[in-house]
Amino acid sequence: MKRIDPVQTPLVSRGELINHVEVIPDDADFENRQNLDKYEQTNLDRIEYGVLNSFIQDAGIEEIWINSPNRIFIARGGVSELTNLVLTSDQVRDLVERLLMWGGRRLDLSHPFVDARLPDGSRLHASIPDVTAEHWAVNIRKHILRGKTLEELQEFGVLDSRLSLFLKNCVSAGLNILVSGSTQAGKTTLLNALIGETSVSSRVITVEEVFELRPRVPDWVALQTRAANLEGEGEIPLRKLIKEALRMRPTHLIVGEIREAESLDLLIALNSGLPGMATIHANSGRDAVAKLQTLPLLAGENISHRFIAPVVASAIDIVVHVAMEADGKRAIQEILFVNGRIEGERVETETLFSLEIHNGKSNYRQALGDPNRILAKRGKILEE
């Protein structure tokens, strides 16, 4: 088989596709096996992504979504635009089914939603009628800055050198960090970079709904949730994974995103002296702390605000809020310190750094003198 049509390729197994790809370069001149692997992956991506492959390969495109076969959108620089691509309903269905073959997830009437990780690390979400009105709704979210270090994020303008050094010191001191922001703000990318600042002797356990994190650390185990099978059995929620992760001798526990009752399990784990990090959807750093006081209430009626407030105040040290600006640029907006004090049932925070823009130029204002002295909450003074 010398050529594969990425649109017409039938639904065959991934192994068969790889075998086909391997025989393509009979007459190609490859210097080494690394080039061959890259060649295979490129062709395999074409097979799986089909007509969307050009969008996937375009580094400027952040997200692709399909509202209907003739309404396909992309987001570039934070701005959405309608493409001129038109598909058929069968093509959309075949595309999603091919991608789910790789991710090992299921989409049917009993599970009309699916969330899956794709070969390049992007995230697929799809939903089908009758949850949707008529057509399959598909979102493919790319992680353009995936795998970057804090230095690399600094080059992209996400933060400056002062914040980079400060966050490195926070990680080194074992402070618990909460990264907040809206959808597509860059929370996962920033979290990934922060994990990369842990020491080489650290054992990092990540817990996620769908595999997204790819930290550059030598000792790392990734855990992912699992949906129930057709008989309604076999489900593994985040709460279960957090408890299992604590049995795996972690030095750092990372939760990709906290949304519901698993926030209680994370807070309890962090209060046991285990350093950790997580992300949360919020409009600001203070809103993130307030939300973290509310989510554990979903764990049961016996959980109250009076119980949760001191737990949050003790467990969380730093809140880093990141946002996407109107021009599509992502940047840290503020860094808050959770000082451990409680006013009523509200956890107090103090602003350490905040982003200010004057005459089109951005600058971080340091609000409380030397943050390294303020952050001796854990009985440690951060390195100068």
Q: State the DSSP string of 128-150.
A: -TTTSSSS-EEEEE--TTTT--H
Lowest-pLDDT choice from 16-30, 268-282, 326-340: 16-30
* pLDDT computed for residue 290 by the predictor: 95
Q: Are residues 120 and 248 in the same domain?
A: no
Question: pLDDT for 356-383, tens place per residue?
Answer: 888 778 888 887 656 666 656 666 555 5
Lowest-pLDDT choice from 28-37, 112-121, 146-155: 28-37
Q: Average pLDDT of the chain? A: 83
Is residue 331 very low, low, confident or very high in pLDDT (cuts 50, 70, 90)?
very high
- The dihedral formed by the CA atoms of 101, 103, 104 and 110, expressed in degrees to the nearest 10: -90
Spatial distance between the Cα atoms of 303 and 291, rounded to a whole number of angstroms:
15
Tell me which of 30 and 237 has the higher pLDDT.
237
Question: pLDDT for 302-321, tens place per residue?
Answer: 888 889 999 999 999 999 99
* pLDDT computed for residue 100 by the predictor: 86
Q: Distance of alpha carbon 101 from its chain centroid, rounded?
A: 22
Axis-axis angle for helices 262-270, 305-315 (nearest 10): 50
Spatial distance between the Cα atoms of 127 and 227, rounded to a whole number of angstroms:
15
pLDDT, average across residues 206-212: 91
* pLDDT computed for residue 108 by the predictor: 84
pTM above 0.85, yes or no: no
Domain final residue, candidates 115, 141, 167: 141
| Structural domain range at position 253 | 150-378
pLDDT, average across residues 35-44: 45
The enclosing domain of 47 has a CATH number of 3.30.450.90
Contacts (Cβ under 8 Å, ≥6 apart) of 363? 355, 356, 357
* pLDDT computed for residue 109 by the predictor: 83
How many domains does one find in the chain? 2
Please report whether residue 2 resides in a domain: no
Please report whether residue 7 resides in a domain: no
Q: Which of 17, 85, 101 is nearest to 53 (CA)?
A: 85
* Residue 3: both structure tokens together: 């050529």
Which of 88-92, 98-102, 227-231, 327-331 is most confident?
A: 88-92
Q: Are residues 129 and 191 in the same domain?
A: no
Q: Which of 184, 194, 185 is nearest to 216 (CA)?
A: 194
* pLDDT computed for residue 380 by the predictor: 54
Spatial distance between the Cα atoms of 337 and 382, rounded to a whole number of angstroms:
14
Residue 350 has pLDDT above 60, yes or no: yes
Q: Are residues 59 and 83 in the same domain?
A: yes
Q: Are residues 132 and 179 in the same domain?
A: no
pLDDT, average across residues 235-259: 95
Q: Are residues 234 and 343 in the same domain?
A: yes
* pLDDT computed for residue 376 by the predictor: 64
